[in-house]
Every structure is written in structure tokens, then in C-alpha cells.
Amino acid sequence: ARGDTTGTAPGQATAETVATSTSAAESEARGDTTGTAPGQATADTGATNTSVAESEAICDTTGTAPCQATADTGATNTSVAESEAICDTTGTTPGQATADTGSTNTSVAEVVQHLVKQQPTLVQQILQPPKKVKQFLLLLLQHLVGQATAETVATITSAVESEAKRI
């Protein structure tokens, strides 16, 4: 215990230290979990500090629009849950902005739904051999999404096959 654990401010000289020192208990207390805004100085910090609990709270999942500052963010941030919601599957026309998008975005499910409605024959052809033609059409379908997505060709195949069973 180089420094004291009696509540003296971190970094301050105390009766038990020959020089300025901070105890392990005081160092651990630097990241408080008492709801202080991330990056703000707190009663138990000698300087600005953010605790793990506060850092995790930075990404809220309470429905705030993606990329917008929220009550528990020190800056603009988007949570995983909000990011996943950016691609909605509620039937919005592909390529159109929706209530849960920060910008125009199209999910694979929307592209498949659109193709099934507009080109049911094309969907059935995608499911027919030969394999190379199927792979080419699946890659083309992925390209039609218009932007990089987290979905893989395998996911698109699954989505197409699921939709084809319904028609």
C-alpha cells in the first residue's frame, strides 16, 4: 500500500507517504460507476476518467436514432442493437430511408421481397441448376443491394429459398 486508502485525493501527499502517491484502492476508484457523465471528473478522480460501466453505457439501446447523441453518451455513438436496426425488414421499398435508418439503407430481406413481387420467375430460376449460374445470380443479387452489407452469399441464398417456398 504505497498510498493511503483513507479518502485522500489521488496524487496527493499523505501522512503515510514520503512523496506524492496513489493507493491501489484509490486508483481502482478512479473509474466510478455512479452515473457521472463519461469523461467527466468525479469526486474520486484526480483527473477526467471513465469507468468500464460508463463506457458500456455509452451505446444505448433505447431506440434513440442511430448516430445521435444520447443522454448516456459523451459523443455521437451507435449501439450494436441500433446498427442492426438500420436495415429494417418491414417492407419499405429498397433504397429508401426509413424511420430506423440514419441514411438510406436496404436490407437483403427487402431486396428478396422486392424481387419475389416483381420477378417471381427469376427467383425460381436462381434455385435451379447449374450451380455456376446460381452462384453468379446470387452474387448479382448481392451487388443489387447497392452497398456493403454484413450478409453473406449464404445468407442471401437462405433468404431467397425461404421466400421461394412462400410463392
Is 76 among the domain residues?
no
Say what the pLDDT of residue 9 is: 59
In this prediction, residue 117 carries a pLDDT of: 75
Q: Is residue 96 part of a domain?
A: no
User: Is 119 part of a structural domain of the chain?
Assistant: yes
* pLDDT digits (tens), the chain, 167 positions: 444 555 555 555 555 544 444 444 444 444 444 555 554 544 444 444 444 444 444 444 444 444 444 444 444 444 444 444 444 445 445 444 444 444 444 555 666 667 677 776 766 666 665 676 667 766 766 666 544 444 455 565 666 666 666 65
pLDDT at 58: 44
In a domain, 134, yes or no: yes
Residue 88 lies in a domain: no
Q: Where are the alpha helices (DSSP H) in 58-118?
A: 80-85, 108-118
Q: pLDDT tens, 117-145?
A: 777 676 666 666 567 666 776 676 666 65
Record the cell numbers describing residue 146, joined without a space. Answer: 447497392
Q: Is 135 left (phi over 0), alpha (psi -120 to 50) or beta?
A: alpha
Domain that holds residue 151: 105-166
CA-wise closest residue to 118 among 93, 151, 139: 93
Residue 42, in any domain of the structure? yes
The reported pLDDT for the residue numbered 107 is 56
Number of domains in the chain: 2
CA separation for the pair 53, 31 (Å, rounded) = 8
Which pLDDT score is estimated for 149? 47
pTM check: above 0.95: no
Residue 61 lies in a domain: no
Q: What pLDDT is attached to residue 112?
A: 66
Residue 86 lies in a domain: no
